[in-house]
Amino acid sequence: MTDNNENKIKPKFRFTKKDIKKQNSFIYQIKRAISLGFIFLNLVKKSK
Amino acid sequence: MAKILIAGSGFAGHYGALILNDILKNKGTHEITVITPNTTFNYLPSLVWVGVNKMKAEKTQFNLKKIYDKVNINFKHAFIKEVHPDNNFVIIEPSDIDSDVKNLNNKHSGKMLSENANGKQHSTNGKAYNENANINKPNNINSANIGEANQNKIEYDFLLMATGPKLNFEATENLNPEFGYNNSICTPHHAMDTAKNYLALIERMKKGDKAKIFVGTGHGTATCQGAAFEYIANIHYDLVERKLRDRAEITWLSNEPKLGDFGMDGVEVRKESLIYTSEMMAEGVFNYCDIKYQIRSHVHKIDDKKIYTENIDGEFKELDCNFAMLLPPFTGNSIKWIGKNGEDIKEKICNPAGFIKVDAAYGKSYEELDGPDWPKTYQTQLYKNIFAAGINFAPPGPLSKPNKSPNGTTISPAPPRTGYTAELSGKAAALNIADMVEGKEPSHNASMADTPGLCVASMKEGFFNGLAGTIAVYPVARNRKEYPEYGRNLDYSVAEVGKAGGWYKVGLHYSFLYKLQAKPGWKIIP
């Protein structure tokens, strides 16, 4: 239902099975939460 | 002694008041007054959960007066009707709004849900509730009867305007939820009504009905696509949980120039040697969730059966619809600005949309606009003792590429200035007022071209089963002078989906509500 030509011809981006597995994996997501925490802290420091 | 007035009690106004009070409490006797038509602070980012009946609305609010009494800030439950900047006073009118949803039965007495001919739920409450009602109420106080309203005259030395926007539902025919064709999660009461309508839809689907659901923006210039993105994903996962997903066709309807734009020109993320974008993230989510999408679209009208759209190519479409949650555009509110001779000076103070002009470089084209053009101190240039923060300040231009259809319809998302961005601008304005109280020049900068944007978009509620799209970007407004390649520092960019974001979303809900209630240690929470 996209209404622009660019989207009609380009291949659609899809999550791979590996992406979905990562999104739902507790261990991987705990690691991501720690990484995101550091990124957020750095960003907060930049906004001071 | 300085008299400081803060108009509004959202992220910018309320947090600005707390910061200012904390800084000035040991620096002489200063008087801080917050004027707001609301009785509660409303944590709007969590209303997405209220709108799918996963959270009670009362968990998103707290009573303002209790907090202000605790920290010695004056609280005026009132609308600002006029500002007289040459004479340093405002005219207020007492508010009769009780925004506390616990008192809903009193405010919405006689409210009921009924079905129209299409079997679609719509609200028939007689009295519209609107947190931004100051812009919708008749302005019955003017300069001619100031004498009568002297008790409503409040003088100030410094004024921080942070009243938030008008939810301009009137820009699109029948978009206002009061008409019963559209839903909204913009206020606690809207979100509660939306939950009722959503649950009624669920009941019909359980009986075998199929539903066409549209979520997104209800106008070519609307913003807050992130909130709509959260809502559509929450609806998808809720229907999956209820085993009803196969009975719904869900469509993302938006004014964005590209998927994942979110009104801020999208996000690029460096992953090893590749550049991954928020467009890919949104497309991945929509394809995985089987959500259709129509972007680059303006909504002209909505009725009980259809949504009438026009896309960037000028094509008009009529989309069959059973349930819609389309966000309205924002405009400035209808506060009058009166000059020293009683003349209307609003045009000097505000841009055509009614937002207050501050220290930005206005008038540049999208192509010319760059980071240094965005406001830094949020001080108005005509009146140095007046500041505007949050959604109230006029941005110098859009962040997303503006477009017009061949028919002349503007399809250009407005820049988002809500949530964390609003809080940062409110804090900077408060700190700059503190500077001026101490006889210094404003020195605090919270330019959107120098501060980060953080958006954790819930997709599925819950701590263990939750899921969210996490978007972080630095800075929000592209600053090509500083970062020539992308206008942003990609070392801080994030665009990903996962449980980690879901945990942060829950954490943000509780930490923000804790901080904004000025509970012990609130100052160390960023």
CB-CB neighbors (< 8 A) of B498 in chain A = 22-24, 28-29, 32
Task: Answer yes or no: is B498 within a domain.
Answer: no
A21 part of contact set with chain B, CB < 8 Å: no
Task: Answer yes or no: is B64 within a domain.
Answer: yes
- Which residue ranges in chain B fall short of pLDDT 70? 105-151
The reply to whether residue A4 touches residue B296, judged by beta carbons under 8 angstroms, is: yes
Task: Answer yes or no: is B154 within a domain.
Answer: yes
Kindly report, residue by residue over B407-439, the tens digit of the pLDDT.
999 999 999 888 889 999 999 999 999 999 999
Contact status, residue B383 vs residue B357, Cβ threshold 8 Å: no
Task: Answer yes or no: is B69 within a domain.
Answer: yes
Residues of chain A above pLDDT 70, percent: 75
The reply to whether residue A32 touches residue B497, judged by beta carbons under 8 angstroms, is: no
pLDDT at res. B128? 34
CA distance A29 to chain B (A): 5
Print the domain residue range for B414: 3-100+135-168+331-437
B296 part of contact set with chain A, CB < 8 Å: yes
CB-CB neighbors (< 8 A) of A36 in chain B = 470, 472, 494, 500-501, 504
B497 part of contact set with chain A, CB < 8 Å: yes
Task: Answer yes or no: is B480 within a domain.
Answer: no
B283 part of contact set with chain A, CB < 8 Å: yes
Closest to A33 (Cβ–Cβ): which among B317, B451, B503? B503
Kindly report, residue by residue over B467-522, the tens digit of the pLDDT.
999 999 999 999 999 999 999 999 999 999 999 999 999 999 999 999 999 999 99
CB-CB neighbors (< 8 A) of B294 in chain A = 1-3
**Cα–Cα distance measured from residue B82 to residue B335, given in angstroms and rounded to the nearest whole number:** 5
pLDDT at A1 over 70: no
Task: Answer yes or no: is B35 within a domain.
Answer: yes
Residue B441, Ramachandran bin (φ over 0: left; ψ between -120 and 50: alpha; else beta)? beta
B315 part of contact set with chain A, CB < 8 Å: yes
A40 part of contact set with chain B, CB < 8 Å: yes
A46 part of contact set with chain B, CB < 8 Å: yes
Total count of domains within chain B: 1
**Cα–Cα distance measured from residue B498 to residue B482, given in angstroms and rounded to the nearest whole number:** 31
Contact status, residue B514 vs residue B15, Cβ threshold 8 Å: no
The reply to whether residue B293 touches residue A1, judged by beta carbons under 8 angstroms, is: yes
Task: Answer yes or no: is B379 within a domain.
Answer: yes
Three-class SS state of B423: helix
The reply to whether residue A22 touches residue B498, judged by beta carbons under 8 angstroms, is: yes
CB-CB neighbors (< 8 A) of A19 in chain B = 284
pLDDT at res. B60? 96
DSSP character string of B173-233: BT-SGGGSS-B--SSHHHHHHHHHHHHHHHHHHHTT--EEEEEEESSTT---HHHHHHHHH
Smallest CA–CA distance from B278 into chain A, residue? A13
pLDDT at res. A10? 63
pLDDT at res. B105? 55
**Cα–Cα distance measured from residue B516 to residue B523, given in angstroms and rounded to the nearest whole number:** 9
CA distance B435 to chain A (A): 16
CB-CB neighbors (< 8 A) of B280 in chain A = 13
pLDDT at res. B520? 95
Task: Answer yes or no: is B394 within a domain.
Answer: yes
CA distances from B498 to A29, B239, B281, B349 (A): 7, 19, 11, 44
CATH number of the domain that B345 lies in?
A: 3.50.50.100
**Residue count of chain B:** 526
Smallest CA–CA distance from A38 into chain B, residue? B492
